[in-house]
Structure 1
């Protein structure tokens, strides 16, 4: 017996570790493919409504939340709604070539196309009930009401990017998806100002405006210069330009139309123009046509924004990489230096810094009244007044960009394998990824007691995308 065991041991020692690793990876890949299909099967067959999705669901699926309570006929466009889920399904299709994912993504794209406005874009919600309270002036003639195409929070950008990618996956054969994508892209290009910037909202082509560099207002911005229709003016708030850049990059890659690359360059030119002069070479959330920071909502004062500045730096690096033009990298060192010098004592970055003084600027709330303050001890909880510093990551990305290198992949194969194991293990008996409300503010602000279990489109999409990335990494 000892001899037999010893021989078996020698045989085991003779097997290369790479073969053992390969066998384990094959097994994990098979489990990942199975988990993807089971989880997506549950979500598509039980959660989807009209092919689309909202943000959150109760486990019994009787309650649905987007920006507030949603009906069975309402789907959400704003991330992490239908386009977010749809793009994860497309990633799963690319990794597995399982037609189930393409069919589900195509159904989601059809629901998105239904909600395209006559102005060419989207608002945050689509109401598929012709008499529904949230219906809008849809291009298909089945709605009525407002016609405000919005770039806020990635609404139109995510819808269009999903449709562009779904059009590609369907080999441009689905007429509804193709026409909706091209119509939306044409409307987006018509909404780009001469200086390359975009409004937050449009209903038609924008007006011509003079091209000027960013500058500080000479009036008392605290009490003067408020603009009611700030959404008509140049907007960076909530990564508007980053979402637009990603859309234009994908549109050019898919359709090979140089109009989208030209629009991307013009967007980069706008971001260069919009950098504030010294002593605060960052970016604001909103600008008027004179390129001065302006008020938006009553709790969004003019100021140089730490959050938007970090987003702009990432966007400029993506534009530089795609266009091959290093001029889009030139604003970055000064902005990064300003950010480093503006860090809060806890290492975070304030959302707002007062114009020229650079003091962190906050708001106090008394009922519906907001007052400017330098005191951060009692901040309203509905808004992100501080953000985590990304300077370390931005520095690494900048070094690669300056060397002409593509951005590093977000995760290595080893990291993807570890994440895949955790994600597979997190599936419950019904093949769902169940979240538990821990008190953190949810997108859409769903109201539920602490400890309440729920389903999240964001978590589903994220997990499906990671598994798809892992499977794809093992197929090369």
Structure 2
């Protein structure tokens, strides 16, 4: 009888023992991979996107010097966020120290104005300016890197994401050492907001770079890459966690800009000049209206109604839907139903327009616009698919709710923090790491794919031609019309289709997120510990 009880107890505990074994392997893989990235790959705590295995070359959005790190994801900010998520899940202080190093690198590179450029160069301004005048200057399709402004950017969520990471670091342990840098970032977001509620792409304002006769667009009010929304979103997070009611005015002005910038026909441009007219930006971003921007802005207006209960935010949505219906591509240009809209629509005619290029390098190549949908750019899509039925469905649902119903969970309303002790805890519930429960086989695959040096290596990285001098070929060839990169003088990135292996920050982040989700899934389910990872 005693023997049967022991056997029964063993089988009852077997799921727990199996899980403990799998969890231990996952934790071990996470820690070993992190130690390699922190102790062998990082530069003063910061990261770029890809590295050759011997670390002799490295790339962010472009090739980087070994003194450089990338702020823009999946670089230093994304890595730091992953470290802090791993710390919150495991309690292992090594991850917190790794996040501290990433934060220290960002603070080192924070400008005196309070924001960040796309990347940080520990070699200083001389090194930075040399990079811009060589590698950056010859990146044909990346015009934002062809000129050193010396100011901060909101493009690609650079400054906003860095500020959010510092906010998360501050809230994790309420360590006051992060408050000064966070305050500087907040001050920048506030002082760079225009009185009409929008934000420029870069700040402090500059007007000194013209490309092929096009005016400098970096001071324009910018929707592209969610510049305005990301700043509004950050101010909301700051308002919730630190309780500064002063920021409500800036939040409301940011949301109101979506109303005042909508055109009479219901559409939006990607950026607006100082006369509040839709305008162009890079030479492959012509003055136009954009179905993609119109779609995303209409969805944000629905969100703003949920935040405020003010029906003024709903008024422009039907006009946006009507315009999106009107400018659908003719059937002959949908590529057999694959696309619904062109990326750009001509301002006065509502005709689809398309961007092309000719030449082989930035020095002598050029972009141009016409009505022809052949030989389109590969690096900046000329057509897109818009789920217009989703917008209609969401509008019908949201507009049918009363202000009281729709604002029930608004972050702008006074809250009762049920289930949370403080607004700071609420921040981690709403904006913390959200990982789905991974498949057991996927977890095993990730653990087993670490190489002998504890690296997750990948193929098909985005690399570039090494800089060998300015472009020389003057021929306006069509050979590179639809490629990512031009001739061997073009330093723009392209995908390496060979079997060469690379260290990838994005791969590290992806795998860590899955393993974090694996550990969290069983930490949150008392009786569910049955997974086995061998």
- Whether TM-score is above 0.5 comes out as yes
Q: 2:229 aligned with 1:242, yes or no?
A: yes
| Mapping for residues 8-407 of structure 1, pairs under 5 Å | 28-130=22-124, 132-134=126-128, 146-174=149-177, 177-203=178-204, 228-278=215-265, 281-323=266-308, 325=310, 327-339=312-324, 342=328, 344=334, 345-367=337-359, 368-391=365-388, 404=406
CA offset at residue 453 of structure 1? Answer: 1.7
CA offset at residue 266 of structure 1? Answer: 1.6
CA offset at residue 179 of structure 1? Answer: 0.9
Is the alpha carbon distance of 1:413 and 1:125 closer, same or farther for their aligned partners in structure 2, counting shifts above 3 Å? closer
Query: In the aligned structure 1, how far is the partner of 2:202 from the partner of 2:79?
Result: 24
Is the alpha carbon distance of 1:189 and 1:149 closer, same or farther for their aligned partners in structure 2, counting shifts above 3 Å? same
- Counting matched residue pairs gives 434
Task: Give the TM-score normalised by structure 1.
Answer: 0.78
Where structure 2 has 5 or more consecutive residues not aligned to the other structure, the ranges are 131-147, 208-212, 360-364, 411-429, 463-482, 486-490, 525-534
Is the alpha carbon distance of 1:310 and 1:418 closer, same or farther for their aligned partners in structure 2, counting shifts above 3 Å? farther
Query: In the aligned structure 1, how far is the partner of 2:392 from the partner of 2:516?
Result: 29
Is the alpha carbon distance of 1:110 and 1:387 closer, same or farther for their aligned partners in structure 2, counting shifts above 3 Å? farther
Measured on the aligned residues, the alpha-carbon RMSD in Å equals 3.8
- For residue 68 of structure 1, give the secondary structure of its aligned residue in structure 2: coil
Could you tell me whether the CA contact under 8 Å between 2:41 and 2:47 is conserved in 1?
yes
What's the CA shift string for 1:252-282, capped at 9, x where partnerless? 233221233432222111112222222xx23
- For residue 493 of structure 2, give the secondary structure of its aligned residue in structure 1: coil
Query: In the aligned structure 1, how far is the partner of 2:322 from the partner of 2:442?
Result: 35
Query: In the aligned structure 2, how far is the partner of 1:179 from the partner of 1:254?
Result: 16
Query: In the aligned structure 1, how far is the partner of 2:84 from the partner of 2:398?
Result: 28
Could you tell me whether the CA contact under 8 Å between 2:438 and 2:514 is conserved in 1?
no
- For residue 69 of structure 1, give the secondary structure of its aligned residue in structure 2: coil
Is the alpha carbon distance of 1:51 and 1:313 closer, same or farther for their aligned partners in structure 2, counting shifts above 3 Å? farther
Query: In the aligned structure 2, how far is the partner of 1:333 from the partner of 1:172?
Result: 47
Is the alpha carbon distance of 1:293 and 1:22 closer, same or farther for their aligned partners in structure 2, counting shifts above 3 Å? farther
CA offset at residue 395 of structure 1? Answer: 6.2
2:457 aligned partner: 434
Is the alpha carbon distance of 1:266 and 1:132 closer, same or farther for their aligned partners in structure 2, counting shifts above 3 Å? same
Deviation larger for 338-347 or 297-306: 338-347
- For residue 291 of structure 1, give the secondary structure of its aligned residue in structure 2: coil
1:461 aligned partner: 509
Is the alpha carbon distance of 1:290 and 1:131 closer, same or farther for their aligned partners in structure 2, counting shifts above 3 Å? closer
Could you tell me whether the CA contact under 8 Å between 2:338 and 2:385 is conserved in 1?
no
CA offset at residue 338 of structure 1? Answer: 3.9
Is the alpha carbon distance of 1:473 and 1:125 closer, same or farther for their aligned partners in structure 2, counting shifts above 3 Å? same
- For residue 361 of structure 1, give the secondary structure of its aligned residue in structure 2: strand
Could you tell me whether the CA contact under 8 Å between 2:80 and 2:102 is conserved in 1?
yes
What's the CA shift string for 1:409-459, capped at 9, x where partnerless? 998854576765554454444333322117896997256453322122223
Is the alpha carbon distance of 1:146 and 1:261 closer, same or farther for their aligned partners in structure 2, counting shifts above 3 Å? same
Could you tell me whether the CA contact under 8 Å between 1:304 and 1:355 is conserved in 2?
yes
- For residue 380 of structure 1, give the secondary structure of its aligned residue in structure 2: coil
CA offset at residue 340 of structure 1? Answer: 5.2
Could you tell me whether the CA contact under 8 Å between 1:78 and 1:155 is conserved in 2?
yes
- For residue 176 of structure 2, give the secondary structure of its aligned residue in structure 1: coil
Is the alpha carbon distance of 1:171 and 1:318 closer, same or farther for their aligned partners in structure 2, counting shifts above 3 Å? farther
- For residue 108 of structure 1, give the secondary structure of its aligned residue in structure 2: helix
Could you tell me whether the CA contact under 8 Å between 1:238 and 1:308 is conserved in 2?
no
Query: In the aligned structure 1, how far is the partner of 2:316 from the partner of 2:16?
Result: 46
Where structure 1 has 5 or more consecutive residues not aligned to the other structure, the ranges are 1-6, 137-144, 207-225
1:140 aligned partner: none
Query: In the aligned structure 2, how far is the partner of 1:69 from the partner of 1:308?
Result: 30
CA offset at residue 22 of structure 1? Answer: 7.5
Could you tell me whether the CA contact under 8 Å between 1:88 and 1:462 is conserved in 2?
no
Is the alpha carbon distance of 1:456 and 1:90 closer, same or farther for their aligned partners in structure 2, counting shifts above 3 Å? same
CA offset at residue 318 of structure 1? Answer: 4.6
Task: Give the TM-score normalised by structure 2.
Answer: 0.71
Query: In the aligned structure 1, how far is the partner of 2:456 from the partner of 2:319?
Result: 43
What's the CA shift string for 1:17-70, capped at 9, x where partnerless? xx9988776665444433322322222222111100111111222211123221
